[in-house]
Homo-oligomer: A and B are copies of this chain.
Amino acid sequence: MGIDKRTHDREFVRTFFTTPTAEKGVEDSAKKLRGGIGLRGMQAPDVWVPDNEDATAPSMRGEGAENIAKVVAEGGADFPGEIHPRVVWHRDDPETRYEGFEQMLTIADPERGAIDHIDGFVIPEVGDIDDWKKADEFFTLVETEYGLAEGSLAMSVIVESGAAEQAMTKLRDEMGKPTNNLQRLFMLVIGEVDYTKDMRAITPTGSLPSWDEIRHNTSSAASAAGLISVDGPYDDIRDIEGYHERMTDNQSKGLLGIWSLTPTQVVEANKGPLPPEDGYWLIEAGDREVKLEDDDGVQVYRGDRIGLEETDDGYVLTVGGDRLELDDDGVREELLDLVSYVPSMGDIVDSMEEFEAAKEAGRGAIAMTQAATLRIDGVEVDVERDRMWDEATYQALMVPISLFQDVYENRPDQHEELAAMYSEDVVERAMDVGN
Contacts and interface: CB of A to CB of B under 8 A. Distances in A.
Given A4-B163, A203-B251, A321 B304 contact: yes
A85 to B, nearest CB: 18
Given A163-B172, A321-B285, A399-B201, A217 B213 contact: yes
A434 interface: no
Given A4-B127, A340-B207, A197 B163 contact: no
A126 interface: no
A120 interface: no
B342 A322 contact: no
B57 A364 contact: yes
Contact of A321 (B196, B235, B320, B322): B320
A340 B207 CA distance: 9
A390 B256 CA distance: 26
A219 B211 CA distance: 12
A381 interface: no
A213 B220 contact: yes
Contact of A201 (B12, B194, B251, B341): B251
A151 interface: no
Given A169-B169, A193-B392, A287-B286, A202 B251 contact: yes
Contacts of A54: 390-392
Given A202-B252, A304-B322, A362-B24, A392 B165 contact: no
B340 A320 contact: no
A222 B286 contact: no
A204 interface: yes
A221 interface: yes
Interface string A338-352: 001111000010000
A247 B364 CA distance: 28
A435 interface: no
26 contacts: A2-B92, A4-B162, A57-B364, A59-B362, A161-B223, A162-B219, A165-B220, A196-B399, A197-B396, A197-B398, A200-B223, A200-B399, A200-B403, A201-B251, A201-B253, A201-B254, A202-B256, A204-B276, A206-B348, A208-B396, A213-B216, A239-B337, A286-B321, A303-B322, A304-B321, A306-B321
Given A201-B254, A209-B253, A235-B387, 11 more contacts: A2-B92, A4-B162, A54-B392, A128-B172, A196-B399, A197-B398, A201-B399, A202-B399, A203-B252, A212-B213, A305-B320
